[in-house]
Structure formats: C-alpha cells, structure tokens
Amino acid sequence: MKGLLALLLLMVGAPAWSACTQGGQTASFGSQSSFVVNSTVQNTSTTLTLDCDTVLNLLTSDSIKLIYLGATPVVTGIRGLLKRTDNTTITDNVPVVVCVQSGCAGSSEVQVGGTYTWSGSTLLNLLASKRYALPIYLRTVAGQNVSAGPYRVVLNFRLDWNICSLGVAACLAYQSGNGSADVAVTLTVTNDCSTISAPAVNFDSAPLVQNFKSVSQSIAITCTKGSTYTVGVSDGSNASGNVRRMKSGNNYMNYEIYKSNGTDRWGSLGTERWASAASSGLSSDGLLRNFNYVAKVLTSQTTPPAGAYTDTLVVDVAF
C-alpha cells in the first residue's frame, strides 16, 4: 500500500509537457515620410499569444518568460533594425525598441539577449479563456536619415512557460514548454521635401533695359535622401505666351529665368523642368540640393516707362 501511494503521488506531480502552443504576430508602423521618421518617434504594438489546454485561472506560480534572441536581418547591437527589402545594398536602417509596457514606461525595454517574465496578477490579467495575450510595444528611434522604400525586420523571440494545469489550493501539475514567437515588423518610408528656399530676385534700377545686370542666385531644396524629382518654376502672374513679365500699373517689362548655363529656360513643363540628378550641388547627407540660376531682363524689348516692376513665381517639386 505504501509503494502504491508513493507511485500515485509521483504520477500526479509529473509535469505535462507541450500542452500549450505559442504564436507569433506582425506589426506595422504604416507609411511615413522620411522627415517624419527622422523627427518623430513612431509607435505600434502587437500581441504574442500562448494557448493552453487547461488553465485554472488561479493566482499560482504560473509564469511566461520572453527571451529576445535577436533579429533578421542579423542584428549587431542591442536592437533590431528595419532595413530596405527592395534593395539590400542600401545600408539605411531604423532601430526598433521593444518594450513590455505602453510607451516604454518604467524602463520596460527588452534588448537583444534580455528577458522579461510575466507572473502573478500581471499574468492573470492577460488571460482570457485559455489564451494569454502578451502585449509587445514597439517604437522607432528618431534621428534616422533614410531613403524612401519598404523596410522590414523580423524580431526573434522565444517563450518559456510554466502554467498550472491541475490543483485546487496548490498546483499539482504544470504545463511546461518553450517555443519561438517571431514578430515581423514593417515600415514604408515615403519621399517628401521639408524646405524650399527661394530668395527674391532684385534687378535693382537702370535707365534702359540694356543696363540691367543679370542676377545669379540659387534655390535650395531639402528632400528625402536619394529621392529623384524635378523642379519647376511657373511663368509668373503676368506672362505673355511663355515670356515672363514684371508689371507696373499697365506697363510690363520682359525678363527670363535660365538654368545655370544661362541659356536654357527654367520653366514648369516638360524639358524646361530641372531634374534633381542635374542639380548644381548636393550636401554630404544627401538631403539638400542647390539649383543655381540666372535671371535676365530681356534687352530686345523697348524700355518701358519708369516704375517699380514686380512679378511672383511659384517653385514646385514633383516626384
């Protein structure tokens, strides 16, 4: 009888393996312009799941441990990196912070190689029926100068669980196990321009149209790194045909805006637009391009009456 009793206790106390199944998820930061990604932290979240055959719904010593194994593409630091999927030769990346509390409150970040354990009332509050819903909060790190395109990273996690499946006042048997629970994270970065700096053109004053000097200036445009676009300049408010004119009362003075060579008209349509690839200069960070131009009063016209002549032009960027 004593031998039988010992055998029964041993059988009851043995752990029940593989009685729970884990699940990975996806998460998306949506579509954001490159300047938003650079200046503002982006937030999203997802939920890892653990479904168990039997859950007592009691405040026991149940626990689920999250282990952050790494990321794909291979991570070299403490965080996974969103990288371009359409062109793997581009090294641009956006780090992803993993937290277990909303807003990463309370220093709740879990870094590569780190762990976090849900237990006690915290774990009990995540239980619905036989499923544990484990929240994962993700955020980007601002300050990244990246090109436009699709970005992706797979965060590699493992869940280790120990869940009571039998007992009343005390747990008599556990469902224990572990398994991978990866999270595929995506972000689409779009082209954008943040600034267009176009200083006013001042021809100064002269008695005859032949005496006005040409004005050489530059328009500076800051757009997404690596973006391809064209820049157009409108014909102004007083154009006649495709000739720009400044106006004073009922009188006009013809003038033109030329690209840096001084002969090709800079306009708003077709080949008169200026391609970014042919810009006059590019900053080291790949954001700011300069477009050097020449403004001239046309000398083929009759000198109009004296006055203050003005016009307004619109500069546009098209991707």
Contact at 8 Å (CB) between 102 and 96? Answer: no
Q: Give the fold, CATH level 3, of 193-318.
A: Immunoglobulin-like (2.60.40)
Cα–Cα distance, 203 to 212 (Å, whole number): 6
CA distances 155 to 20, 100, 110, 173, 189, Å, are 21, 14, 12, 32, 19
pLDDT tens figures, 250-285? 999 999 999 999 999 999 999 999 999 999 999 999
pLDDT by residue for the chain (319 residues), tens only, comes to 344 333 333 333 444 444 789 988 999 999 999 999 999 999 999 999 999 887 766 656 889 999 999 999 988 799 999 999 999 999 999 999 999 999 999 889 999 999 999 998 899 899 888 899 999 999 999 999 999 999 999 999 999 999 887 766 667 777 889 999 999 999 999 999 999 999 999 999 999 999 999 999 999 999 999 999 999 999 999 999 999 999 999 999 999 999 999 999 999 999 999 999 999 999 999 999 999 999 999 999 999 999 999 999 999 999 9
Domain locations along the chain: 15-190, 193-318
* Encoded tokens for 95: 């780090």
Phi and psi at residue 211, in whole multiples of 5°? -95, -10
Q: Is the peptide bond before 305 cis (omega within 30 degrees of 0)?
A: no
| CATH pick for 15-190 out of 1.10.10.10, 2.60.40.2040, 3.40.50.1100, 3.40.50.10860 | 2.60.40.2040
Residue 35 is classified by DSSP as H
Contact at 8 Å (CB) between 192 and 33? Answer: yes
Contact at 8 Å (CB) between 76 and 133? Answer: no
193-318 and 15-190 share a CATH fold: yes
Q: Chain-centre distance of CA 93, in angstroms?
A: 10
Closest Cα to residue 197, out of 283, 308, 296? 283
pLDDT tens figures, 58-90? 656 889 999 999 999 988 799 999 999 999 999
